[in-house]
Amino acid sequence: MLGPICWVSVVMSRFNKFFVGGIGIAVGLLVSVFVIKIQGNSPAEVYRVLFDYSIASSFSWISTLDNTTPLILTGLSAAIAWRAGAINLGQPGQFLMGAIVAALLGIYLPFPGWISIPVILTASALGGALWSGFAALMRQRYGMDEFVSTLMLNFIAEYSTTYLVTYPFLDPKAYVASTVAIKKAFTLSTVNQFNEGFYVAVAVAVVSWWVVEKWRIGYEWEMMGLNLRFARVGGCKVSDNYMWVMLYSGALSGLAGGLLILGGTQHRFMKGIGGNFGWDGVMLAMIGNNDVSMTALFALFFGALKSGGIGMEFETGVPSEFIMVMEAVIVVSVVATRSVIEFYGGRVKAFLKARKVVKR
Amino acid sequence: MDFVVALLRASINSATPILLAALGGAFTYYANVFNIAMEGMMLTGAYFGVIGSYFFGSWEVGILFALVSSLLLSLLFSLFAIYLRSDEFVTGIAINMLALGGTTYLLRSTFHVKGAFISPKIIGIPSWNFGFLHDVPILGSILGGYPFLVYVSFLLAVVVDIVVFRSRFGLRLRAAGEEPTATRSLGINPTTVRLVSALLSGVFCGLAGAFLSLGYVNLFSENMSNGRGWIALAIIILVRARPLGILILSLLFGFFEALGIVLQNSPIPPQFTSMVPYVATLFALYVYARRKRKVSITAEVGDD
């Protein structure tokens, strides 16, 4: 027998899982309509182009999935760390570390492709894990908040990788600071039109879901995020788990960087290559409420927006930077929707509870 | 000698935006609002400062625009984080993303440039020269002739100290942060106090942004706050938001940033000199953490 209170909470938890993200996206798209209108463009036209260039043809799907590949991984990187209570905001830096490792190994590794590609991808994951592990170590040894240290490490990663591609590994023939291209043999090919990198990302996402939902350590991570003291009293090795979740999270971001080098279009490390993939991951985790499957799903949506954005700039003249605004508006709407529902949902719950007590 | 003077002048200039943002953050710190939206407020202030100055041809309008835009952003933050009680951390990050995406897009759509907008029509904040300082040999060349916001911000450090620790509002602010329930029982609404603190931090961050784009340099570039909001936050944590401590640490961080600027003509690659403030922040956090008793993660993440 489920009482009304119970029903409300069941409905709310389901609601929180998917619909809040959906409502947030709807509100975000609606707000964007007004912004487009104010800027003097036709919203219908913009949305039609966005649709055409993201999911309307097989060609646009290719570009959408290419954009989705790093987003899934950085999104999961943020989501998995956050749900364990580890405030890893270092996705941009960990991404860059993974990318630079992949780019350099891709130039110099002497082995054939079938050995090198797995080696490079593993190394790029380790590169990201090194960067987040550094922050985790500083937290455990000295109690330095990881949320400030990962942010600072982002800047340090950005400047050091820029240094590497500007001086020691500069390709003198390139127009911007960048390394030379990696060996042809190491670039990922396509399967069923889609880049192999996408399959890797999906496989990693499935494994991550399995680890987080089915493994013991995943359960312990979740308990740590919900209530650290309870988790410790319940027998979790909190500090080991914390280290593992930070390493895992960093490895995901690093792998995203590695896949971008091997599977993207440039096949080299250029200055500014990370773009917004790291911060997009942070936003995705927020939209997906740190849930693995939801974050991966919304990554697909962001990937579609990104490839649509290029077409939008091409056809309607609305700059592709508008996608950044849309993404941010969506995140703000999701946060708002979630808090409104929790705020008023809590009141409804309290009201029902009070009525029950009064009836008695 | 010229080198030292240049270094000190650059330090004071670099310290100012960090100082202003950190002073604003001090209000929210005492009201127990975890305000990480400073970075975004600063960036918004910097952008709209340029808009006001460019289109109206006056730095006063520029500062006004910076203040109002940053205030609106902090109002948005307060609506979610204080009234609807959504997660302050998530809200703050979302606001920062909105500021970054919004200014990057507006830069492109308004001025049709990518990266940075530079124009002689951006009127900068005027510099102040003090007659009496002019005659003092070395001190005059170190302390005179800054954009007037520099002097204002140093003065504000003292003002904030007095407001927080000596005024009725400051007492309420700290009370609302420490014991909201007790505060409410005395007839003061802690939510209002926290709202005011968030708005004050918006005003200060707006000033910091205006200084970045109209005082420090006369241009706007993408993501030009470049982590200064985060450094300000680190400073607040380090000195527990004591305004005079903020003043000293801001000068220190300004010095590190200036060191990077001055060393640009040296054989050290510019990437390493630009890295200095961020490494310094990490180091400062390390020193701070060593001073505290060694805390494991289990003890530190308690129930806040």
* Residue B230 domain flag: yes
Residue B86 inside a domain? The answer is yes
B101 with A342: Cβ contact below 8 A: no
The answer to whether the Cα torsion of A337, A83, B304, B91 is positive or negative is: negative
pLDDT at A1 over 50: no
pLDDT of residue A195: 87
Q: Hey, is the C-beta of B196 within 8 angstroms of any chain A C-beta?
A: no
C-alpha pair distances (Å), A196 with each of A69, A113, A187, A261, B179: 10, 14, 10, 12, 56
Q: Judge whether B1 lies within some domain.
A: no
What are the structure tokens assigned to B297, written together? 């993660």
One-letter-per-residue 3-state SS of chain A: CCCHHHHHHHHHHHHHHHHHHHHHHHHHHHHHHHHHHHCCCCHHHHHHHHHHHHHHCHHHHHHHHHHHHHHHHHHHHHHHHHHCCCCCCCHHHHHHHHHHHHHHHHHHCCCCHHHHHHHHHHHHHHHHHHHHHHHHHHHHHHCCCHHHHHHHHHHHHHHHHHHHHHCCCCCCCCCCCECCCCCHHHCCCEECCEEHHHHHHHHHHHHHHHHHHHCHHHHHHHHHHHCHHHHHHCCCCHHHHHHHHHHHHHHHHHHHHHHHHHHCCCCCCECCCCCCHHHHHHHHHHHCCCCHHHHHHHHHHHHHHHHHHHHHHHHHCCCCCHHHHHHHHHHHHHHHHHHHHHHHHHHHHHHHHHHHHHHC
How many residues would you count in chain A?
Answer: 360
| Predicted pLDDT of residue A6 | 58
Separation CA A60–CA A58 (nearest Å): 5
Question: Does A329 sit within 8 Å of B84, measured CB to CB?
Answer: no
How confident is the model at residue B224, as a pLDDT?
92
Is residue A119 in a domain? yes
Residue A11 falls inside a structural domain: no
**In the predicted model, what is the mean pLDDT of residues A176-201?**
87
Residue among B80, B102, B271 whose CB faces A328 most closely: B102
CA distances, B240 to each of A55, B30, B163, B202, B235 (Å): 51, 9, 16, 19, 8
The answer as to whether A111 is a domain residue is: yes
Nearest CB partner across the interface for A163, out of B272, B290, B292: B272
| Partners of B146 in the β-ladder | B128
Give this prediction's pTM. 0.90
What CATH number does the domain containing A265 carry? 1.10.3470
Domain count, chain A: 1
**B216 within some domain:** yes
CA nearest A32 in B: which residue? B102
Q: Do B90 and A283 touch (CB under 8 A)?
A: no
Contact A155 B275 (CB under 8 A): yes
User: What's the average model confidence in pLDDT over A300-304?
Assistant: 94
Nearest Cβ partner for B98 among A140, A156, A329: A329
User: Structurally, how many domains does chain B consist of?
Assistant: 1
Q: Is residue B207 part of a domain?
A: yes
Does a structural domain hold residue A44?
Answer: no
More confident of the two residues A343 and A53:
A53
For B105-160, the pLDDT digits (tens) are 999 989 999 889 999 999 999 888 777 766 777 777 788 788 899 999 999 999 99
pLDDT band at A203 (very low <50, low <70, confident <90, very high): very high
Are B282 and A138 within 8 A, CB to CB? yes
Q: What is the predicted pLDDT for the residue at B303? A: 37
Question: Is A279 in contact with B97 (Cβ distance < 8 A)?
Answer: yes
Q: How far is A99 from chain B (nearest CA, A)?
A: 18
Closest-CA residue of chain A to B109: A319
Domain carrying residue A266:
59-320
Residue B134 placed within a domain: yes
Interface A-B: count of C-beta contacts within 8 A: 147
The reply to whether B81 falls in a domain is yes
Q: Which of A9, A118, A70, A331 is nearest to B89 (CA)?
A: A331
Residue A28 in any domain: the answer is no
Residue B143 lies in a domain: yes
pLDDT-above-70 percentage for chain A? 95
> Is there a domain that residue A339 lies in?
no
ipTM value: 0.88
A328: nearest CA partner in chain B: B98
Domain coverage including residue B189: 15-240
Q: Which of A137, A152, A239 to mutate to test the interface with B (most CBs of B within 10 A)?
A: A152
pLDDT tens, residue by residue, B250-280: 999 999 989 888 887 778 888 888 898 899 9
Whether residue A10 has pLDDT greater than 70:
no
A29 in a structural domain: no
Average pLDDT, chain A: 88
Q: Count Cα atoms within 13 angstroms, Cβ side, for B302.
A: 4
Of A139, A140, A143, the CB nearest to B292: A143
Per-residue model confidence as pLDDT tens digits over A252-301: 999 999 999 998 888 899 888 877 899 999 999 998 889 899 899 999 99
Residues 88-127 of B with CB under 8 A from A: 89-91, 93-95, 97-98, 100-102, 104-105, 107-109
* Chain B residues with CB-CB distance to A321 below 8 A: 101, 104-105, 107-109
CA distances from residue B248 to A147, A357, B207 in whole angstroms, order as listed: 24, 57, 19
Residue A342 lies in a domain: no
